[in-house]
Amino acid sequence: MISRALMILILLIVAAIGVPANAQQAADSVAPEAGSLAVRAERLPVSAEFAMIAAANPLAVEAGAQVLAAGGTAADAAVAVQLMLGLVEPQSSGLGGGAFLVYWDAEAKRLTTLDGRETAPSAATPTLFQDESGEPLKFFDAVVGGRSVGVPGTPKLLAEMHARWGKAQWADLLQPAIARAENGFAVSPRLNELIAEDGDRLKTDPVARDYFFGPAGEPLRVGVVLKNPDYAATVTTLAENGMDAFYSGPLAEMIVEKVQNADGNPGVLALDDLADYRVVERAPVCVTYRIYEVCGMGPPSSGALTVGQILGLLQPFDMASMSPDDPQTWRLIGDASRLAFADRGRYMADSDFVPMPVKGLLDPAYLAARAELLRGDRALESIEAGTPEWDHALDLADDEAIELPSTSHFVIQDQFGNIVSMTTTIENGFGSRLMVAGFLLNNELTDFSFRSHKDGVPIANRVEPGKRPRSSMAPTIVLQEGTPVLAVGSPGGSRIIPYVAKTLIAILDWRLDVQTAIDMPHLANRFGTYDLEKGTAAELMRPALEALGYKVNVRDLNSGLHAIALWGDDVPAVSVLESGAPYLAGGGDSRREGVVFGQGALKCEPVTACIR
Kindly list the catalytic residues: 407
Closest to 530 (Cα-Cα) out of 503, 510, 506, 554: 554
Neighbour tally for 136: CB within 10 Å: 17
Closest to 355 (Cα-Cα) out of 497, 279, 458, 278: 458
Measure Cα distances from 345 to 29, 363, 385, 402, 416 in Å: 19, 18, 8, 11, 40
Spatial separation of the C-alpha atoms in residues 598 and 148, rounded to whole Å:
39
Are 107 and 141 in contact by the 8 Å Cβ rule? The answer is no
Distance of CA 304 to the CA centre of its chain: 12
Q: Which helix (H) or strand (E) holds 190?
A: helix 189-198
Are 181 and 189 in contact by the 8 Å Cβ rule? The answer is no
- Measure the CA dihedral 506/361/373/460, to 10°: -110
Are 600 and 586 in contact by the 8 Å Cβ rule? The answer is no
Give the relative orientation of helices 303-314 and 496-508 as an angle to the nearest 10 degrees: 40
Beta bridge partners of 98: 425
Strand 435-436 with 285-289, pairing: unpaired
Are 21 and 14 in contact by the 8 Å Cβ rule? The answer is yes
Are 477 and 417 in contact by the 8 Å Cβ rule? The answer is no
Closest to 507 (Cα-Cα) out of 560, 580, 567: 567
Spatial separation of the C-alpha atoms in residues 467 and 470, rounded to whole Å:
9
Residue type, 437: A
Are 591 and 559 in contact by the 8 Å Cβ rule? The answer is yes
Concatenated DSSP letters for 341-368? Answer: HHHHHHH-S-TTTS---HHHHH-HHHHH
